[in-house]
Amino acid sequence: EAGVTQFPSHSVIEKGQTVTLRCDPISGHDNLYWYRRVMGKEIKFLLHFVKESKQDESGMPNNRFLAERTGGTYSTLKVQPAELEDSGVYFCASSQPGQGIADTQYFGPGTRLTVL
Amino acid sequence: AQSVAQPEDQVNVAEGNPLTVKCTYSVSGNPYLFWYVQYPNRGLQFLLKYITGDNLVKGSYGFEAEFNKSQTSFHLKKPSALVSDSALYFCAVRDRTDSWGKFQFGAGTQVVVTP
């Protein structure tokens, strides 16, 4: 079974540009999460999809971030325009409902975003 | 507000010696507790979790963790460390009252196992 995949693995852009990150969850997983780790700090929650619906976007930093999950499969996270403080590693995770919030989340390898 | 603390940025241990990675938390009620490991250039891999029941939880790769409610801790342990255990370890909690169960992570602890 394929795991969670993310693309690209690295992205280097200039301040003011736009970047789109993609996440493909494990097939059949309804729950999809986005997290971000800024250098050396804790991994922070950004938002949570159940199928194509946003259930919790309380962690989204501001309106420069837009997440979508068309058709309830893969998800994209767009940053427009990017700022220096957006640099970090963006992780995607997915889970299959079964134990409720005790479900194990399976993480992708992350996308390292550098904004210059 | 809930929080997770991993007091050590780095833990150094010689191969064959016991390994402990500390985690304490501040969450209302009884949380769900998780440990994840990140190897270089890889995603976070699930190690183990505490949901309910026995306070000692056994997980992957010979790791175990003990839930201590009075000390609000969930330390990760391995009796005999291997060089291949060198990685970044994250403790995470989920508040049982949170309908959708987002994780609160610690800052991570880098484990270095020397031959």
Q: Is the pLDDT of residue A3 over 70?
A: yes
pLDDT digits (tens, 9 = 90+) for B94-114: 887 776 678 899 999 999 999
Q: By the CB < 8 Å criterion, does A43 face chain B? A: yes
Q: Is the pLDDT of residue B42 over 90?
A: no
Chain A neighbors of B51, CB-CB under 8 A: 99, 102
**What residues of chain B, 51 to 70, have a C-beta less than 8 Å from chain A?**
51
**Beta-carbon separation of A100 and B45 below 8 A:** no
Domain containing B97 — which CATH number? 2.60.40.10
pLDDT digits (tens, 9 = 90+) for B48-91: 999 888 899 999 999 999 999 999 999 999 999 999 999 999 99
B89 CA: distance to closest CA in chain A (Å): 11
**Beta-carbon separation of B101 and A101 below 8 A:** yes
**Beta-carbon separation of B105 and A3 below 8 A:** no
Residue in chain B nearest A9 by alpha carbon: B41
pLDDT digits (tens, 9 = 90+) for A23-44: 999 998 999 999 999 987 889 9
Amino acid at B64: E
Q: By the CB < 8 Å criterion, does A108 face chain B? A: yes
Inter-residue contact B65 to A20 (CB < 8 Å): no
Residue in chain B nearest A34 by alpha carbon: B102
Map out the domains of chain A as residue ranges.
5-98
Q: By the CB < 8 Å criterion, does B8 face chain A? A: no
The DSSP call for residue B108 is -
Listed residue (A35, A66, A68) closest to A52, CA to CA: A68
Residue B20: domain span: 3-114
Q: By the CB < 8 Å criterion, does B106 face chain A? A: yes
Domain A5-98 fold is: Immunoglobulin-like (2.60.40)
The arrangement of strands across the sheet holding A5-7 comes to A5-7, A19-24, A75-79, A65-68
Of the candidates B41, B90, B99, the beta carbon closest to that of A43 is on B90
What residues are paired with B50 via a beta bridge?
B33
The encoded tokens of residue A53 equal 């619906």
Helix, coil or strand: residue A107: strand
pLDDT digits (tens, 9 = 90+) for B25-37: 987 777 899 999 9
Q: Is the pLDDT of residue A1 over 90?
A: no
Provide the number of structural domains found in chain B: 1
Alpha carbons B88 and A18: distance in angstroms, whole number = 30
Residue in chain A nearest B101 by alpha carbon: A101
